[in-house]
């Protein structure tokens, strides 16, 4: 099941849980924007669990939910989907869009790290 196949509300819950790592339905309700009622969040969490996206542990009377897929793996899938959907699978187009959109936010250190990554990739690339 890919991230892109989740509903907007399911993605909001997953994003919250990736940040929180583990949370109850009440905590999720408090942590997502424009939340529906408690029952709707609980139902959505149950759907996510059936889809294999979440697991839970019982702590006292409450269930604590956490993502099944490691954040790094989920991030890779989301980036692949983003590249495919909006950038014709072009890393160059995606990086160009990000720099155009957030270039002012890049610190000198950020730019130096990006330059170093590019230098390393150039060395690794076949001639």
pLDDT in tens, the chain (127 residues): 566 678 889 999 999 999 999 999 999 999 999 999 999 999 999 999 999 999 999 999 999 999 998 888 888 888 888 899 999 999 999 988 988 888 888 899 998 999 999 999 888 887 6
Would you state the pLDDT for residue 106? 87
Are the C-beta atoms of 29 and 41 separated by less than 8 Å? yes
Residue 36 tokens read as: 């529906």
Tell me the sheet residues that pair with 23.
65
Are the C-beta atoms of 6 and 53 separated by less than 8 Å? yes
DSSP secondary structure code for residue 88 in this structure: T
Flag whether 35 is in a domain.
Answer: yes
Would you state the pLDDT for residue 31? 96
Three-class secondary structure assignment of 92-122: HHHHHHHHHHHHHHCCHHHHHHHHHHHHHHH
Would you state the pLDDT for residue 2? 62
**Do residues 47 and 103 both lie within one domain?**
no
**Do residues 111 and 63 both lie within one domain?**
no
- Domain containing 101 equals 91-127
Distance CA 111, CA 87 (A): 22
Flag whether 106 is in a domain.
Answer: yes
**Do residues 9 and 61 both lie within one domain?**
yes
Q: What is the CATH number of the domain that holds 7?
A: 1.10.10.10
pTM value?
0.71
Number of domains in the chain: 2
Flag whether 84 is in a domain.
Answer: no
């Amino acid at each position: 099941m890919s991230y892109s196949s989740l509903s907007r509300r399911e993605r909001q819950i997953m994003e919250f849980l990736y940040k929180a790592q583990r949370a109850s339905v009440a905590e999720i309700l408090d942590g997502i924007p424009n939340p529906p009622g408690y029952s709707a969040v609980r139902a959505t969490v149950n759907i996510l669990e059936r889809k294999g996206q979440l697991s839970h542990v019982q702590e006292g009377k409450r269930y604590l939910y956490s993502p099944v897929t490691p954040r790094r793996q989920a991030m890779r899938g989301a980036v692949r989907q983003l590249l495919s959907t909006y950038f014709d699978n072009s890393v160059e187009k995606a990086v160009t869009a990000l720099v155009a959109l957030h270039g002012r936010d890049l610190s000198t250190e950020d730019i130096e790290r990006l330059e170093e990554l590019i230098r390393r990739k150039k060395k690794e690339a076949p001639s």
